[in-house]
């Protein structure tokens, strides 16, 4: 294949090809716009709805056990719903039709999420869990058809740039929705009408999710791709169809999810109940993490492309244990906001590395199976982590004395956060060296790679300019 295309047509055949390409791009434009607008509306739903589900759970008197189930449910249902989605795809006349009903289901699910816990408060936490389960079932059910439809609207050499741009739009929109949601809840909390604030937020989330249907109707659909996968089960695939490196990577990924989810559902309790932060303060804390992702995602992507996703996982895997340990140092709101900002920075890199390593470690024909296997083991780690955390929260002491050091935090949760950090460190230290980079990439010593990391590289460049 030629490296470049001539700027002028050399023959009538070339002219026809250009016209064909131009016509195809024109046909694909509604699909591109749908994917972008869908991301924008979905980000409003996430930032102003999904991110505040745990806070709403506290309003209806959820316990740590309820919060654990509320956190684990989406991941477990997601694996199941995506598998079912592929199996029943022939029930729908087109992918667009399948996406349409999935979005309708997601939008409508906000009604029972909001109404049922308020109508029957004695069963509020369980009714909320049921509503959230319904919502995420529809959400994951839509995913395979959505990815297939939107990917068909893009040329192979523009998908990376398109999805990177979409992710940045979503991060910024979600950041704004989070902040506005926190302010809204604080206002209604001041008026002792907090349930009205949640009502406005969740109804807005549902309407925003359905708004993308307007652009979906303009997307031309194409026949589904015929499946070429061999009827090989997932267990056989993992045992014989992938490398040892990939199996070790799966173990690292699942155990890291377990270590992280030991504490993730309980930050809302620590912020709103133990430290008694206002909702706007909690919203800003959440938004700081998204801002950290937004400003560093492109740099992490360049780092992974140049030096490999294994190097990306090595640095972020050794940084992520430090984050929960910092919550023992201070309860000052501004300090915790800064910590969560850097948490967003680290998690942007770790999440990117975990996703992209899967694509690099297997053959292109096996990527769909590899993604499904990765999602499954991560969901198992996610669920086990939340269950272990809900058990530990009643076992960890509320104070600790080590010689002259006497620690009395606001609750026992900072100790649980610290344990999560220790487990993350053990996972990284014991497993990161057991798998390797599958691509040919540029190699450098780790101490030199430090200056290529996001936030550090601009400082290094600035220091050179001043010399």
Q: Which residues are bridge partners to 402 per DSSP? A: 405
Spatial contact of 277 and 285, defined as CB atoms under 8 Å apart: yes
Residue 43 has pLDDT above 70, yes or no: yes
Spatial contact of 141 and 103, defined as CB atoms under 8 Å apart: no
Q: Which of 90, 209, 216, 221 is nearest to 152 (CA)?
A: 221
Who's near 420: CB < 8 A, 6+ residues apart?
259, 260, 262, 263, 324, 389
pLDDT digits (tens, 9 = 90+) for 277-330: 999 999 899 989 989 988 888 888 888 888 888 999 999 999 999 999 999 999
Residue 462 has pLDDT above 50, yes or no: no
Residue 318 in tokens = 């050794």
The pTM is what?
A: 0.77
Alpha helices in 432-455 (DSSP H): 446-449
Q: How confident is the model at residue 457 (pLDDT cuts 50, 70, 90)?
A: low
Helix (H) / strand (E) containing 235:
helix 234-240
Residue 313 in tokens = 């996982």
Average model confidence (pLDDT) for the chain?
82
Residue 346 has pLDDT above 90, yes or no: yes
Residue 90 in tokens = 């022939």
- Largest Cα–Cα separation, the chain: 86
pLDDT at 24: 47
Rounded to the nearest angstrom, the gap between the alpha carbon of residue 185 and the centroid of all alpha carbons in its chain is: 24
Residue 331 has pLDDT above 60, yes or no: yes
Spatial contact of 344 and 51, defined as CB atoms under 8 Å apart: no
Spatial contact of 129 and 117, defined as CB atoms under 8 Å apart: no
Q: Which of 92, 104, 103, 105 is nearest to 224 (CA)?
A: 92
Q: How deeply is 171 buried, as exposed, middle or buried, from its count of CB atoms within 10 A (0-12, 13-18, 19+)?
A: buried
Q: How deeply is 39 buried, as exposed, middle or buried, from its count of CB atoms within 10 A (0-12, 13-18, 19+)?
A: buried
pLDDT digits (tens, 9 = 90+) for 236-268: 666 766 788 999 999 999 999 999 999 999 999
Return the residue matching tokens 């349930």: 195
Residue 354 in tokens = 């975990």
Residue 313, sorted as left (phi over 0), alpha (psi -120 to 50) or beta, turns out to be alpha
Alpha helices in 49-93 (DSSP H): 53-59, 64-87
Residue 161 in tokens = 């740039």
DSSP 278: -
Residue 37 has pLDDT above 80, yes or no: yes
pLDDT at 367: 67
DSSP 264: G
Helix (H) / strand (E) containing 228:
none
| CA distance linking residue 126 with residue 66, whole number of Å | 8
pLDDT digits (tens, 9 = 90+) for 409-453: 999 999 999 999 999 999 999 999 999 988 888 877 766 777 677
| CA distance linking residue 362 with residue 250, whole number of Å | 12
Who's near 35: CB < 8 A, 6+ residues apart?
150, 153, 162, 166
What domains does the chain contain, in order, with CATH numbers? 26-220 (1.20.1250.20), 239-400+408-457 (1.20.1250.20)
pLDDT at 5: 38
Residue 410 in tokens = 């606001």
| CA distance linking residue 142 with residue 156, whole number of Å | 22
| CA distance linking residue 301 with residue 308, whole number of Å | 10
Share of the chain above pLDDT 70, in %: 81
Mean pLDDT of 375-392: 89
Who's near 234: CB < 8 A, 6+ residues apart?
369, 372, 373, 376
Radius of gyration of the chain (CA): 24
pLDDT at 31: 62
Share of the chain above pLDDT 90, in %: 42
């Amino acid at each position: 294949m030629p490296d470049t295309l001539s700027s002028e047509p050399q023959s009538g055949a070339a002219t026809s090809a250009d016209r064909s390409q131009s016509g195809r791009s024109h046909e694909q434009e509604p699909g591109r716009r749908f994917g972008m607008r869908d991301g924008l509306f979905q980000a409003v739903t996430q930032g102003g709805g999904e991110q505040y589900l745990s806070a709403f759970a506290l309003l209806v008197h959820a316990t740590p056990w309820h919060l654990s189930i509320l956190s684990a449910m989406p991941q477990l249902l997601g694996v199941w719903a995506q598998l079912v989605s592929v199996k029943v795809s022939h029930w729908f006349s087109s992918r667009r039709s399948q996406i349409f009903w999935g979005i309708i289901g997601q939008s409508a699910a906000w009604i029972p999420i909001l109404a049922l816990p308020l109508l029957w408060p004695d069963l509020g936490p369980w009714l909320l869990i049921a509503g959230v389960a319904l919502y995420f079932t529809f959400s994951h059910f839509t995913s395979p058809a959505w990815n297939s439809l939107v990917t068909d609207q893009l040329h192979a050499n523009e998908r990376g740039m398109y999805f990177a741009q979409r992710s940045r739009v979503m991060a910024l929109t979600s950041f704004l929705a989070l902040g506005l949601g926190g302010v809204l809840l604080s206002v209604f909390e001041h008026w002792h009408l907090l349930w009205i604030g949640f009502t406005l937020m969740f109804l807005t989330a549902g309407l925003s999710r359905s708004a993308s249907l307007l652009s979906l109707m303009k997307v031309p659909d194409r026949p589904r791709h015929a499946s070429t996968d061999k009827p090989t089960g997932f267990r056989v695939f993992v045992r014989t169809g992938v490398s040892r490196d990939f199996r070790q990577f799966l173990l690292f990924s699942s155990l890291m999810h377990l270590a992280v989810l030991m504490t993730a559902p309980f930050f809302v309790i620590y912020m709103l109940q133990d430290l008694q932060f206002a909702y706007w303060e909690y919203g800003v804390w959440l938004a700081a993490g998204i801002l950290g992702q937004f400003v560093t995602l492109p740099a992490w992507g360049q780092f992974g492309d140049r030096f490999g996703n294994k190097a990306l996982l090595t640095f972020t895997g050794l940084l992520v244990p430090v984050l929960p340990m910092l919550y023992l140092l201070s309860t000052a709101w501004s300090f915790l906001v800064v910590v969560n900002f850097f948490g967003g920075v680290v998690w942007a890199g770790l999440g990117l590395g975990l996703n992209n390593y899967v694509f690099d470690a297997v053959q292109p024909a096996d990527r769909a199976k590899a993604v499904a296997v990765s999602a499954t083991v991560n969901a198992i780690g996610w669920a086990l982590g939340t269950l272990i955390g809900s058990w530990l929260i009643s076992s960890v002491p509320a104070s600790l004395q080590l010689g002259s050091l006497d620690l009395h935090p606001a609750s026992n949760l900072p100790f649980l956060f610290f344990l999560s950090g220790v487990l993350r460190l053990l996972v990284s230290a014991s497993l990161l060296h057991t798998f390797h980079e599958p691509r040919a990439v540029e190699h450098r010593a780790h101490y030199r790679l430090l200056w290529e990391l996001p936030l550090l590289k601009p400082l290094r460049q600035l220091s050179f300019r001043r010399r």
